[in-house]
Copies of this chain bind each other. A is one copy, B any other.
Amino acid sequence: MGYLLLIIYNLLTPLIALGYLGFFIFSPRRSLLKYFFAELRERLFVPSTGAATGPAFSHATSAGELIPNSPSSSLQPSAFSLRPSPIWVHAASVGEVRALVKFIPGLRASFPGCEIMITTSSRSGRDEALKLSANARLAPLDFYPLTRAFIGKIAPRALIIIETEIWPNMLFCAGRAGVPVFMINARISRKTLVLYQSLAPLTRILFSGVKRVLAQSRLDAERFMLLPGLDGKVIETGNLKHDLMGASVSGVAEVSAFIQASGWDGQPIITAGSTHPEEEPILINAWLEAKKSAPGLKLVLVPRHTERIAETEAVLRGYSLPFARWSAGAVPGADCLLVDAMGLLQAFYAVSSICFVGGTLDNTGGHNLLEPALFSKPVLFGPNFKNAKLAGVALLKEKGGFLVGTAPEIAAKLSALLADPLYLKVSGENAAKALLSLKGATEKNLARLKASIPPWDTQSNLSVV
């Protein structure tokens, strides 16, 4: 039954490809056809040594044409390219590849001398992957003969699938060839889960070659556990993306100079970062209220979209308060600053006593709640943080973040924190703790892979379909 489904899927694949071609021919976006054919050459992987199978080769060709004196040897197979089989990493596109910025170097360090091949499902993803490994290309079309030939040719030591790329033939052929398959940073939507549950016989065959599913959250882990063929293989190891958070150097000196010039030295600052126009009046009101108990308090507004800065400026003018604009320089006596430049958010968080993260009081769903925690600062945010759920929950749990819904609530929390230096300090440290508690997914994933991917000398069970 499962095999029948797989055969049906494979009979459909060429039809789908033809359908795409038809779509391009008759669509107004006909000019994209040239990309379609360029891609197709790469996706219809033909395992002959001479064929141009990747972008790397075409680079080399053009280089060779342009450099008459270039030794042709560099374009020829050489002794240097005789290496053991690579670890094959497959990621969908740009976002998934970017999540690997720390993981891929970690993989290199964990398997010294082993080449890392990255395949992607999109051209933009491949271009991003070339920044991580010179050996990056489009994955072959998920059509049994192609995928089988590809795996036979590469003979990968392991296949590591990122997030939610479940391609039937890729999983099936890798399993048949004895290539251990790992799904890491794994996530699965409710819809996909239901689909694969309803195709249980096929699902069982596909996932039988999977050694481990390292899920990015508790919820994803629980969903994967419901799929046939994955019993006892699912572990939660956290999200690789949290390990990418790091403090940036940019703007620190300029922000320091601004604070000196404004005479704000030694005064408490609240920075409201990534704010939207709907949120800014609430924040200004809260700040004015909090100033009654902490008269020295300064407000720094860093709106998310600089193109809407005029709206924010109009709001501020309505209060007839002196305020400074970053691009216009310090205004002596002004207690409020509107930042109309990019790339300064972290530098302002770093010099603040308390931070507010925007997109949480309107419908946006929250921006990066963890950035203030990089500098051990307490984080205030509104009730809508659905885009940063794990981060928000961790901050609240560790008491490094505080949920605030209205101007009076924000003002009360500001006053309470500023009135008690120890409370302020401990809250900041708790925020840092929350950030640390979310980190470490890279290490956990690598440790699991190191334990599960056999070293070359003992990997004697590899066979090819």
Residues of A within 8 A of B (CB): 47-57, 59-60, 62-63, 66-67, 69-71, 73-85, 101, 104-105, 108-109, 112-117, 127, 130-136, 152-155, 246-247, 249, 252-253, 256, 266, 350-351, 375-376, 421-422, 425-426, 429, 432-433, 436-437, 439-440, 443, 456-457, 459-460, 462-464
Contact = CB atoms under 8 A, between A and B. Distances in A.
Contact of A426 (B73, B266, B433, B459): B266
A295 B449 CA distance: 50
A113 B55 contact: yes
A436 B252 contact: yes
By CB atoms of chain B within 10 A, which of A49, A81, A133, A457 has the most?
A81
A122 B299 CA distance: 56
A109 B131 contact: yes
Given A49-B78, A59-B84, A76-B82, 7 more contacts: A51-B79, A53-B80, A66-B459, A71-B464, A80-B135, A108-B131, A108-B133
Contact of A69 (B57, B59, B73, B464): B464
25 contacts: A47-B73, A51-B79, A54-B80, A56-B80, A57-B82, A69-B463, A70-B155, A71-B155, A71-B464, A73-B155, A74-B84, A74-B85, A74-B154, A76-B77, A77-B81, A83-B134, A105-B105, A109-B131, A112-B127, A113-B130, A113-B134, A247-B436, A256-B433, A421-B425, A425-B425
Given A249-B439, A462-B69, A112 B131 contact: yes
B52 A79 contact: yes
B54 A460 contact: no
A264 to B, nearest CB: 12
A460 B154 contact: no
A459 B65 CA distance: 11
B84 A60 contact: yes
Q: How many copies does the complex hold?
A: 2
A464 B70 CA distance: 7
A271 B142 CA distance: 57
A266 B426 CA distance: 7
Contacts of A252: 433, 436-437
Given A60-B82, A77-B82, A134 B115 contact: yes
Contact of A113 (B136, B266, B440, B456): B136
A64 to B, nearest CB: 9
A56 B114 CA distance: 9
A132 B113 contact: no
B457 A73 contact: no
Contacts of A53: 79-80
> A-B pairs with the 6 shortest C-beta distances?
A77-B77, A81-B81, A112-B130, A421-B421, A109-B131, A113-B130
